[in-house]
Amino acid sequence: MAVVGGGIGGLAAALALSRAGHDVRVFEQARAVSEVGAGIQLAPNATRVLRDLGVLAEIERVAVRPEVFEFRRWDDGRLLSSTPLGAAIEQTYGAPYLHVHRADLVRVLAGAFPAERVAVGRRCVGAVRRPDGAEVRFADGSGTAADVVVGADGIHSAVRASLFGARAARFTGYVAYRGLVPAQRVAGLGLGRRSTVDLGPGAHLVHYFVAAGRLLNVVCVLEESSWTREAWTDPGDPAELRAAFTGWHPTVRGVVEALDHPLKWALFDREPLPEWGAGAVTLVGDACHPMLPYAAQGAGQAVEDAAALAACLTGASAADVPAALARYAELRLPRTTRVQGMSRDNGTRFHLPDGPDQLARDEVMAAAFGLSPDIDWLYGHPVPASSSGGREGARRG
């Protein structure tokens, strides 16, 4: 089997498929498997799968377990809602909520998969169906055949484009300034082990510790129509960022002040796809359901995809592959479509100007203190039964 893309989704898929007994190769365009310098939140729906894949203990060694998830108001820092995490969430959902540095997560995932099965510097330009499977085509003109091709190549997926045609992703009008701040620089702010989201008119700010507490991950989201670049190497202007948070409460200003080298990144998404593949070609992660980060679920959904894909392919013969992949998409599409919608709606809710709609939102948030029904649906999702149980299954290349 060939997985195109060595990000969180591709590595999780490669791991789940190889744990289920398949012979898997990963093709990554970059010169090394790595991630941007930023944090990621992993909710129990994702950590449950990672535990099933045998990598959770190692991730926990470099993660932070937050005690609470809180929303606060922009001008006075008043608490709008608070959800207990820590032991409470683990007890409820049987898996922890974690904050992780992305590079740590990718290192652990890649470390659990045979290095010689990962080819770097291989840019895929598409996948073509063949009677006995599919072929991945590369920019250097070469190709490789596989019985299953999994496109895990992100929002601008070449595999997706070869299946359904190339269409540009939608610029959402949001821009993220992002970076990591050494914990000592914010020691005076009393931040604690929390996931905090400060909500204000036209902007929000997320911060939490990663890397075993050594770094604070900061994401500031603004509405800006003129910046549409998506490169994690583009510097943002710290003065511009500070100006955008003028008048916000002192903790927010302290966090923004400490972020002296923010990177700037335009946020894109896409409408849900009606289907995820054809024949022996399928997709996982942002390649099939890119979403705004406002439910902190993009990678979590990619990890869920990985487990569902492995479960659907368990015991499938070559002739069964198209039906198994169709079942996988059928299983996953309604859930990821709902999460895409939740993420987009959160953008509108988070950025409401002060007024009647904001007051109504705050009332709902206050009433939802604790674990809301949406969270139950999101975090309580079970790992598909055979995601790691097919190790006896036939080995196929």
Ligand X SMILES: Cc1cc2nc3c(=O)[nH]c(=O)nc-3n(C[C@H](O)[C@H](O)[C@H](O)COP(=O)(O)OP(=O)(O)OC[C@H]3O[C@@H](n4cnc5c(N)ncnc54)[C@H](O)[C@@H]3O)c2cc1C
- Build a one-symbol-per-residue string for 33-72: x at contacts with ligand X by CB under 6 A, - elsewhere: -------xx-------------------------------
With CB under 6 A as the contact rule, the residue among 1, 2, 3, 7 that binds ligand X is 7
- Smallest separation (angstroms) from ligand X to the CB of 10: 5
- Build a one-symbol-per-residue string for 237-276: x at contacts with ligand X by CB under 6 A, - elsewhere: ----------------------------------------
Interface residues for ligand X in 333-352 (CB under 6 A)?
none
Which range binds ligand X by CB under 6 A, 76-84, 166-174, 285-293, 377-385?
A: 285-293
Distance between CA atoms of 373 and 136, rounded to whole angstroms?
Answer: 42
Q: Which residues of 87-214 form beta strands (DSSP E)?
A: 98-101, 118-119, 124-130, 133-138, 143-146, 149-151, 170-182, 194-200, 203-210
Distance between CA atoms of 222 and 203, rounded to whole angstroms?
Answer: 5
End-to-end CA distance of the chain: 5
| Catalytic residue flag (residue 174) | no
Contact between 198 and ligand X (CB under 6 A)? no
Distance between CA atoms of 367 and 227, rounded to whole angstroms?
Answer: 37
Q: Which residues of 325-396 form beta strands (DSSP E)?
A: none
Question: For residues 109 and 362, which CB has a smaller minimum distance to ligand X in the complex?
Answer: 109
- Smallest separation (angstroms) from ligand X to the CB of 90: 18
With CB under 6 A as the contact rule, the residue among 20, 24, 124, 352 that binds ligand X is 124
Q: For residue 356, what are the contacts with CB-CB under 8 A and spacing of at least 6?
A: none
Q: What are phi and psi of 76, to 5 degrees?
A: -120, 0
Contact between 200 and ligand X (CB under 6 A)? no
Q: Which residues of the chain form beta strands (DSSP E)?
A: 2-4, 25-27, 39-42, 68-73, 79-84, 98-101, 118-119, 124-130, 133-138, 143-146, 149-151, 170-182, 194-200, 203-210, 215-223, 263-269, 281-283
Contact between 5 and ligand X (CB under 6 A)? yes
| Residues 321, 323, 324: CA angle, nearest 5 degrees | 60
Question: For residues 7 and 272, which CB has a smaller minimum distance to ligand X in the complex?
Answer: 7
Contact between 220 and ligand X (CB under 6 A)? no
Question: For residues 159 and 321, which CB has a smaller minimum distance to ligand X in the complex?
Answer: 159
Contact between 146 and ligand X (CB under 6 A)? no
Size of the site for ligand X (CB under 6 A): 32
140 class by beta-carbon count within 10 Å (0-12 exposed, 13-18 middle, 19+ buried)? exposed
Contact between 8 and ligand X (CB under 6 A)? yes
Contact between 96 and ligand X (CB under 6 A)? no
Interface residues for ligand X in 296-325 (CB under 6 A)?
296-300, 302
Question: For residues 64 and 362, which CB has a smaller minimum distance to ligand X in the complex?
Answer: 64
Contact between 375 and ligand X (CB under 6 A)? no
| Lateral strand order in the sheet of 143-146 | 124-130, 133-138, 143-146
The Cα diameter of the chain in Å comes to 63
Annotated catalytic residue, options 93, 208, 328, 379 = 208
- Smallest separation (angstroms) from ligand X to the CB of 359: 28
Contact between 127 and ligand X (CB under 6 A)? no
With CB under 6 A as the contact rule, the residue among 2, 9, 215, 264 that binds ligand X is 9
Distance between CA atoms of 59 and 314, rounded to whole angstroms?
Answer: 26
- Using alpha carbons, select from 136, 107, 138, 105 the residue that is nearest to residue 33: 107
Contact between 109 and ligand X (CB under 6 A)? no
With CB under 6 A as the contact rule, the residue among 153, 269, 304, 362 that binds ligand X is 153
- Using alpha carbons, select from 212, 210, 217, 216 the residue that is nearest to residue 187: 216
Q: Kindly list the catalytic residues.
A: 208
- Judged by the rule CB under 6 A, the positions of this chain that interact with ligand X are 4-10, 27-30, 40-41, 123-124, 152-154, 158, 176, 178, 219, 285-287, 293, 296-300, 302
